[in-house]
Structure 1
Amino acid sequence: MHIAIIGAGISGLMSALELAEQGCSVDIFDQQLAGQAASWAGGGILSPMYPWRYAPEVNQLAQYGKPLYQIWNEKLLPITGIDFQIHDTGMLIFDQEDFEIGLNYATRHQEPMQHCELLNRPKLEKINPYISQQFQQAIYFPHLSNVRNPRLLQSLICYLKQHPAVRFFEQCPVEKLMIQNKKVQGIETEDGQKFSADHVVITSGAWSQQWQQQIQRHIPVHPVQGQMLLFKTPENWLPTMCMNRVMYLIPRQDGHIVCGSSMAETGFSTAVDADTQQNILTACLEMVPELKQFPIVKRWAGLRPSSPQGIPYIGAMPELENLWANFGHFRNGLCMGSGSARLLRQLVLGQDTLVDPNAYSPLRLKQQDLISC
């Protein structure tokens, strides 16, 4: 079975991995270099932030993130030499209004990874001695982790590029789908090349709306910018992830600390601005004041694929044979990425699914109204 995948972010790369490992031949197309957009720009927390604020469908897929990435890392590391660096730091949340619902969430939803406990100041200082004195309590999630998403992407790309069943077409924008008699025959690139395929998978993230005219369906996915900054501290300096008012600190093993994040409607602009960067810096120093002694080594922005309730579209596109969706993950593309790709693979190959796929079905896409001139 020959499959074309449009988009080489985490959704496209993980979908390619799942399908190639099942014996499919896969062509991966991207308008830029693989793994360079939102998947690279995110923080890599392997859980939705404040999971109780998200739809159950988001949390259902997200809970597969850490265990599946652990399995894939074990398989790919000996071949690529690139460790995903899944970092078991735990998470401190300081938002007091979330304490009660957070403390009850794991039991209520049977998600043991989301177990947390309420810490008073002495216990808080034992867990993380750098927390500001203004926080006398926190809820602590000991089982939460982060993955170093640039390394995850590098490992996936390295592995797939040496895979005999996979071809990459980078900096090769796909112009249109080749549709005949309500069946997708393949794709045509911007330079006029045509590639036939038994199935086509759209994994184009924030750019997915570009297909709505061709498929005659409204695709309610659009870019929402998020800005970040990066500190460099000594190795293993900050012991836990921290979160307050949707701002977070994510420590890497080598001492880098990812700080974010903002939300803004900027179209496809990834420019950073001074005011937003200052807001992020202020929020992070409020949590950990001693960070100010360390240098900021990078600032950047990414484009999240916003969708209604953040529930991705995964499965067969309506009224078109052989066209599949795996897009619209909004803020949780990394933590849903491995589960989403496995579900997509199971649907394409007619296998039993790890979750009920109906909640993610592209049948939710409304028929596009045609305007005739």
Structure 2
Amino acid sequence: MHIAIIGAGISGLMTALELAEQGCSVDIFDQQQAGQAASWAGGGILSPMYPWRYAPEVNQLAKYGKSLYQRWNEKLYPITGIDFQIHDTGMLIFDKGDFQVGLEYAEKYHEPMQRCEYLTGDDIQQVNQHISADFEQAIYFPELSNVRNPRLLQSLISYLKQHPSVRFFEYCPIEKLIIKNKKVHGLQAEDGQQYFADQVVLASGAWSQHWVEQIQRNIPVHPVQGQMLLFKTPENWLPTMCMNRVMYLIPRQDGHIVCGSSMSECGFSTAVDQQTQQDILTACLEMIPELEQFPIVKRWAGLRPSSPHGIPYIGAMPEIENLWANFGHFRNGLCMGAGSAQLLRQLILGQETFVNPTAYSPQRLQRLALVTP
């Protein structure tokens, strides 16, 4: 089976990996270099932030992220030489309003990875000696981890580019789908070049509304900008991830610390602004005052594919027999990415699914208003 995937972010790359490993021939198209948009820009926490604030459908896919990425890393690392760097740091959360629901969550929803404990004073300092003394209470999640998402993407791209069944078409924006008799017969690029495949997957993230007119369905996915900054400290300086008021610090093994994040509706702009960067910095220094002595080495922004309740669209698109969706993951594209791709591979190949796919079905789009030509 020959499959074309439009979008080379985490959703497109993981879908390509799943399908290529099952013997499919895969073409991957992206309007820029592969792996350079939101998937690269995010933090890489292998859990939704405050999972109790998200729909069960989000958590259902996210809980498989760590184990699936561990499995793929074991397979790819010997070939690519690029370790995903899955970092078992645990996380401290300081939002008092979330303590009770956080403490009850793991047992209530049978998610042992979300097990946490209530800490005060000296116990917090024993877990992370850099926490400000102003934070006298926390809940601590010892099982939570992060993945170094740029390295994850680099490894995926390296593996797929040497895979005999995979072809990349970077800097190749797909302008339209060639649809006849409710079937996609091919793709047409911006330069007029046409490509053909048996099945087509839309993994176009924040750009997914591009297809609205062609498929005559409203796609309620739009970009929401998130800004980040990066500190450089000594190796293994910060022992845990930290979270307060939706701001987070994520330590990497080499001493880099990713800090974020913001939420802004500003179209497709990835420009950073001084006030947002200052807000992120202030929140991070409140948690870890000692960070002030270390340099900020990078600032950037990415575009999340916002969708209603953050529940992605995964599966067959309505009324077009060979068109598939894997988009709309909002803030959790990375932690849902591996599970989403596995689910879509199972659907495309007619295999038994590991979760009930109904809640993610793009058939939901039929209930939205039709877009007039």
TM-score strictly above 0.5 = yes
**Structure 1 letter corresponding to 2:40:** W
Aligned to 2:230, the other structure's residue is in SS state: strand
Q: How large is the RMSD of aligned CA atoms in angstroms? A: 0.7
Q: Deviation per CA, 1:148-176, whole angstroms, max 9, x where unpaired?
A: 00000000000000000000000000010
Q: Which runs of 5+ in 2 are unaligned?
A: none
* Distance of 2:371 and 2:72 partners within structure 1: 44
Q: Deviations over 1:172-227 (max 9, x none)?
A: 00010011100111211111111111000000000001101100100000000000
Q: Is the 8 A contact 2:204 2:327 kept in 1?
A: yes
Structure 2: how far apart are the matches of 1:186 and 1:156? Answer: 25
Counterpart amino acid of residue 22 in structure 2: Q
Consecutive aligned runs of 4 or more in structure 1 exceeding 4 Å deviation: none
Q: Is the 8 A contact 1:43 1:258 kept in 2?
A: yes
Count how many residue pairs are aligned between Structure 1 and Structure 2.
372
Counterpart check, 1:77 vs 2:96: no
What is the aligned partner in structure 1 of residue 5 from structure 2? 5
Contact 2:217 2:371 in 1 (8 A): no
Q: Which residue of 2 aligns with 1:322?
A: 322
For residues 209-253 of structure 1, the C-alpha deviation after alignment (integer angstroms, 9 at most, x for no partner) is 110110010000000000000000000000000000000000000
Say whether residues 1:369 and 2:370 are aligned partners. Answer: yes
What amino acid is aligned across from residue 154 of structure 1 in structure 2? Q
Aligned partners of 2:372, 2:161: CA distance in 1, in Å? 43
TM-score, structure 1 normalization: 0.99
Give the TM-score normalised by structure 2: 0.99
Q: Counterparts of 2:372 and 2:227 in 1: how far apart (Å)?
A: 37
Amino acid at match of 1:369: L
Which residue is 1:280 aligned to? 280
In 2, the alpha carbon distance for the partners of 1:13 and 1:104 equals 35
Aligned to 1:347: 347
- Deviation string 1:237-272 (CA, Å, 9 cap, x unpaired) is 000000000000000000000000000001000000
Q: What is the CA distance between 1:291 and its match in structure 2? A: 0.3
CA contact (8 A) 1:216 1:368 kept: no
C-alpha displacement of 1:368: 5.0
- 1:299 correspondence with 2:303: no
- Cα distance in structure 2, aligned partners of 1:316 and 1:64: 22
Matched residue, 1:333 = 333
CA–CA distance in structure 1, aligned partners of residues 211 and 371 of structure 2 = 14
Q: Is the 8 A contact 1:213 1:368 kept in 2?
A: no
Aligned counterpart, 1:41:
41
Helix, strand or coil at the partner of 1:365: helix
Matches within 5 A, 1:1-373: 1-366=1-366, 369-371=370-372
> What is the DSSP-based 3-state SS (H/G/I as helix, E as strand, rest coil) of the residue aligned with 1:186?
strand
Contact 1:212-1:368 within 8 A present in 2 as well: no
Residues 260 and 280 in structure 2, CA contact (< 8 A), matched pair in contact too = yes
SS of 2:297's partner is: strand
Deviation (angstroms), 1:311: 0.1
Asked if structure 1 preserves the Cα contact closer than 8 Å seen for 2:218 and 2:371, the reply is: no
Structure 2 contact 216–372 (Cα < 8 Å) conserved: no
